[in-house]
Amino acid sequence: MNETVLVTGGTGFVGSWCVAQLLERGYRVRTTVRDLAAEGRVRAVMSGAGDSATAADWPDRLEVVAADLGADDGWAQAAGGVDVVLHVASPMAATRQEDEVVRPAVDGVVRVLRAARDGGARRVVYTSSCGAVYYGHPAQEEPFDETSWTDVSGGAMSAYVKSKALAERAAWDFVAAEGAGLELTTVNPTGIFGPALDPGQISSLGLVKRLLDGSPPACPNLWFGVVDVRDVADLHLRAMTDPRAANERFIASGGPPVSMRDIAQVLKERLGADARRVPTRRLPDWVVRVAGRFDDEVHDLVPLLGQRRSASSAKAERLLGWSARPWADAVTASAESLLRPVGSTVAAR
């Protein structure tokens, strides 16, 4: 593999798996961090991600550079001379102030696309979300697909969901108007679970951690599409190499939505004593609504109560030969990495 791939957000949950899988497959990788003080952390995580037989030359093929989505500084250096960009980094915060996440997400993706174009990259694979696919619409029985777009004026939704929808729109608009031949592919995952390479990476694993801690003491009426982080990273690599992926969207989902009680039950069945605090009772919706008045994270969940949104990965399966692990395996791997954070040898399958 003679190509160099830039991965934005190398310390993140998805970004670190993309870096590891790229290194395992022989690519040269450049990854961004907001502060070079994090370089040691990135290298330490990668040193524990591969086995000794395949990872001996990883340090020589890994470069860490500083660049922040909120500023222009560093992006020309980061994207200069790379063949492909995996834009994984995105602002993520529970907040009622939409501009705190919407503006940085929109400005950040345009900043990365401009740097990729100017640096000569042939393709950008952008980590969007099903948050850009199936919100703001009436309930429907059939799964949403890549032709669907979130309607940000279609009802209550979190600032994060709006940021993903508006940022992906901005990405496609930029490429159409100013891309100068730059190819764009988006990956739109449902809820991302699975093992964390870095114990400090909580992200969506926070839900599993709360269940393991027994907080809350009962399960809200929440439903999630689940996909394993390793499969999300694998789809990024397929999307960056397959000619048929150019200028396409791909949903990544492990199947129909499952409830928080379903997740809790799997943890109970598979983890034994480690899941002794995991609740399986149902938490009344009114309790969540009251808690949401005081807690921004809970506030973001209120519009999701009882909502079951399904998305189909048939396109990724058909065009790219992609497949997903069973959702229960992804959830179990999340819990095991939180309970015993000892690193994980990279495996695409």
Q: What is the pLDDT of residue 31?
A: 97
Neighbours of 145 (CB within 10 A): 16
Query: For 282-301, what is each residue's pLDDT tens digit?
Result: 988 888 788 777 776 777 77
Q: Quick check: 307 pLDDT over 80?
A: yes
Query: For 172-194, what is each residue's pLDDT tens digit?
Result: 999 999 999 999 999 999 999 99
- The CATH number of 4-196+225-255+309-325 is which of 3.40.50.720, 1.10.12.10, 3.30.230.10, 1.10.10.60? 3.40.50.720
Cα separation of the two ends of the chain: 20
Lookup result for tokens 């998805």: 14
Rounded CA separation 186/224 (Å): 20
Catalytic residue list: 164
Q: What is the pLDDT of residue 348?
A: 41
Rounded CA separation 131/103 (Å): 16
Q: What is the pLDDT of residue 319?
A: 98
Q: Quick check: 345 pLDDT over 60?
A: no
Q: Tell the burial category of 244 from Cβ atoms under 10 Å away from its Cβ (0-12, 13-18, 19+).
A: exposed
Mean pLDDT over all residues of the chain? Answer: 90
Contacts of 122 (CB under 8 A, 6+ apart): 83, 84, 182, 183
Rounded CA separation 274/334 (Å): 13
Phi, psi of 310, deg, nearest 5: -115, 145
Give the mean pLDDT of 46-72: 87
pLDDT band at 312 (very low <50, low <70, confident <90, very high): very high
Give the mean pLDDT of 89-116: 81
Q: What is the pLDDT of residue 342?
A: 54
Lowest mean pLDDT among 23-32, 40-49, 269-278: 40-49
Lookup result for tokens 């179990």: 332
Query: For 242-274, what is each residue's pLDDT tens digit?
Result: 999 999 999 999 999 999 999 999 999 999 999
Lookup result for tokens 């696919």: 133
Q: Quick check: 340 pLDDT over 90?
A: no
Q: What's the Cα-to-Cα distance from 302 to each of 220, 293, 311, rounded to whole Å?
A: 10, 10, 21
Contact of 252 with 231, CB cutoff 8 Å:
yes
Question: CA 209, 213, 219 angle in degrees (round to 5)?
Answer: 80
Pick from 285, 312, 309: which is nearest to 155 by CA? 309
Phi, psi of 301, deg, nearest 5: -90, -20
Contact of 53 with 206, CB cutoff 8 Å:
no
Rounded CA separation 339/34 (Å): 28
Q: What is the pLDDT of residue 200?
A: 75
Rounded CA separation 335/333 (Å): 5
Q: Quick check: 343 pLDDT over 70?
A: no
Q: What is the pLDDT of residue 225?
A: 94
Q: What is the pLDDT of residue 206?
A: 86
pTM above 0.75, yes or no: yes
